[in-house]
Amino acid sequence: MELLEAADLAEIAQVLNDCANQASHDVNERLLGQGQRPSRQLCQETFKTELGGRKVTWAMYLGREKHQAAMECVQRDLPKHLSDNLSLQPTYRYDKKTKKLDLVDPQQRDEWLRDGLLHKLLGTLIPDVVVHAAGDLLNIQAVFDFKFPCPADNQTSWQRYHEDHPFHPSNQKEIYEEAFKVEAVPVRPGFGVGG
């Protein structure tokens, strides 16, 4: 199976960097106004309260919106000649005890989501962008994940798994690297790939 050359990886990294910057800019402009950026105070304020009383902060809301915009940008802007080596948000199941990694069928995942069977996704990993051998999503070359700290000068943080999760007490980066056996690389606006 053919892996990508360094020049192709650099091209992917540039698109991811550009998309992170564009998504952050566009969402800030749309939700906060021209030339505005979220303040530390705004990031901590509640944007809305969801059913069940879960509070969604501005940081969470902006992060979701920017993430969605970045993924749409990647789908649109990534060179088509690299499409056999690239997957956006594939779902993997990782067994921490046996160290076995499997691919979850996208139709099965969509069915679980549609039927509200979210517990079936417990213990799955869904990185934003996976570079792999042509047509082989288990022969992984690189893993990238968009991060949108709020405010922008906050440290890049990787989600820590809660105590009821099978991956507790690890964080997302640690499990990605254990499961995929490559460095999990953050992509964040203003700091680029690896920032």
Q: What is the pLDDT of residues 134-151, one digit of tens each?
A: 989 999 999 999 999 999
The whole-number pLDDT of residue 1 equals: 57
Neighbouring CB atoms inside 10 A of 139's CB total: 13
pLDDT in tens, 110-133: 999 899 888 888 889 999 999 999
Q: What is the pLDDT of residue 12?
A: 95
Q: Do residues 130 and 83 lie in contact, with contact meaning Cβ atoms separated by under 8 Å?
A: no
Distance CA 171, CA 53 (A): 25
pLDDT at 17: 97
Closest CA to 143 of 195, 95, 182, 104: 182
Task: Indicate whether 176 pLDDT > 70.
Answer: yes
Residue 91 scores a pLDDT above 70: yes
Q: Which residues contact 115 (CB under 8 A, 6 or more apart)?
A: none
Tell me the pLDDT of the chain averaged across its residues: 93
By three-state DSSP, how is residue 55 classified?
strand
Residue ranges of domains in the chain: 6-193
d(CA 23, CA 186): 15
The yes-or-no verdict on residue 192 having pLDDT over 90 is no
Distance CA 179, CA 100 (A): 8
Residue 81: what pLDDT?
Answer: 87
Q: Among the listed ranges 29-33, 50-54, 130-134, which one has the minimum average pLDDT value?
A: 50-54
pLDDT at 195 over 80: no
C-alpha 81/C-alpha 110 separation (Å) is: 27
Average of per-residue pLDDT across 16-38: 96
Cis peptide before 151 (omega within 30 of 0): yes
Share of the chain above pLDDT 90, in %: 75
Residue with tokens 């998504």: 23
Is 43's pLDDT higher than 80?
Answer: yes
**How much is the pLDDT for 51?**
83
CA–CA gap between residue 57 and residue 166 (Å, rounded): 26
pLDDT band at 23 (very low <50, low <70, confident <90, very high): very high
Region of poorest pLDDT, from 24-28, 43-47, 78-82, 102-106: 78-82
Structure-block tokens of residue 122: 């417990």
DSSP designation for 154:
S
Q: Which residues have CB under 8 Å from 8's CB, separation 6+?
A: 82, 85
At what angle are helices 6-32 and 58-77 packed, to 10 degrees?
A: 130
The reported pLDDT for the residue numbered 189 is 95
